[in-house]
Every structure is written in structure tokens, then in C-alpha cells.
Structure 1
Amino acid sequence: MNVGSAGASSEPEVMVDINTTPLIDVMLVLLIMLIITIPIQLHSVNLDLPVGTPPASDIKPEIVKIDIDDKSTVYWQGVALADMGELETRLREIAARPVAPDLHLRPDKAARYAVVARVLADTKRLGLTKIGVIGSEQFVQ
């Protein structure tokens, strides 16, 4: 039964509500993508922690100074070395000791990177882990 004016058109009424079903579908897809792409927090960092008791504090460790000048010449305790083979020989000698000394590496900022990297690689390969880079304040401009 049609109530209204006799001249009213028979067109259906316009729906004013927004259809939210597609919006919810998009939201759920985005939520699933977010859950899938979040990395799982299972990353671990391997640390070489000291084992045993620390040495007595009154014993001063031996310090070996390795200098590299602006011409990329390597010095061992202030004495110039002939080549990198001599450096490796000396590093092997101190690596064989029961207590390895502390190494203080002091490169000049004009030294070639390859020479400094070679010294660091040799110490790492021979198992010398107590090494410090001295004089790094010269690199800050």
C-alpha cells in the first residue's frame, strides 16, 4: 500500500548509510600484513665474556705500542719494522705467551687504511683481543 501523494515518483529512496564492509576488509588485510612483516625478536648478540676470576689489580699488564706514521711505516715499541712479516712474527711471539700483553695501536691520520687494517686483521687472526686504538681524537675535525 502506497501512502503519499498521487503524483509521487516510484523511484526507490536513496540509501544514506556508508557501506563499511569493504573498509573493514581492507583494515583486516593491512593488520595481517603488519603482523607478518614485523620481525620476530629472536636476534641474539654473541659476546666473548671473561671466564674465571679476574687478575689481581696490583699487577700492571705489559703494554706493547704499535705506531703507524704518516708514511705508513709500522713501529714496534718505537723501533721501525722492515716489513709486515716482521710484525707478524712479533705478534706470534706475544700471542704464544700465557698472558698476552695489551696492544696500543696509534695510527697517524695520514697513514694508509690498508696498513692499519692489516695490523688489526693480524691481531684478530692470532687471537690477540686486548687492543686499543690510541690517539683517535686526531680524527675528529
Structure 2
Amino acid sequence: MADIQANFMDSQANGFWVVEMEVNGKSKVAGLLAAVKSDGWDTDAGNAPSLEVFQLVVSFSQRRKGLGTQLVETAVEFCKEQGLSRVIVEISSPQTTAISLFCKLGFIVTSVNSNTHANHLVSKLARINVIRMEKHL
């Protein structure tokens, strides 16, 4: 996410949404969602192009107020507008609140594996898994 302009804003296939709130007279970022179009590597197996949620962040003070729901619903609508048939997200197993949010919004678990981006030994010892969830449109 080092270059938001090049990776998200310059491509109509990708999306980047930011929610700002005014706090003490100053504009602050309350949440964001970044998503990229995935080209589907095996269309014969049903892996058609999709939208992959790359990042979803909601500030601590704004959690449990519906902001995450609004951001995900915006990404789902964007996916439909792009003519894509599904939204994909991968979440680490300790993020139970995020998993619940995506379940509530109609995403289903399609796979669970232990291949994380974190240190492999630490992930194994902590029993951290990556949960892949999808919503078909």
C-alpha cells in the first residue's frame, strides 16, 4: 500500500475507500477498505475474475458502529458494477470480530490453511490459520 495512487486510484478495476470523521475540528481517518481485481487463474475450475479485499481497517474508537459493514457493502456494490461474480477476503484466525462481520454479510468460509505471511514458526506455535472467505454475487 506504499503507493496508493499507482496501485488503486489509477486503476478502475481496483477500489480504495476512506471514511473521514471530524474530531475536535480536525478531519481524521475513521476507516478504509482497499480491494484489487483478481484475474482468476483457472476459469475452467470456476475461478472467474473477482474482487479481493486487501485491507480493511476501522479505528478503535469507531468500531461496532457499522462502519466496517458500510465499507464492505460498498466494495460488494463496486464488485457488481465491475461485472465481477464474487468478493474474496483472507483473514487470520485471531481476528474473530472481522470473521463474524464477513459471516454476517453473507461470506462463507471456503478454506483454512496455515500458510500465513507472518513468521512460519511463530504462526505454527500460535496456531494461527488463514481463513479464506467468499461471497458469490
Task: Specify the TM-score bucket, using the shorter chain as the normaliser.
Answer: 0.3 to 0.5
TM-score normalised by L of structure 2 = 0.36
Instruction: Looking at secondary structure, tell me which structure has more strand per residue.
Output: 2
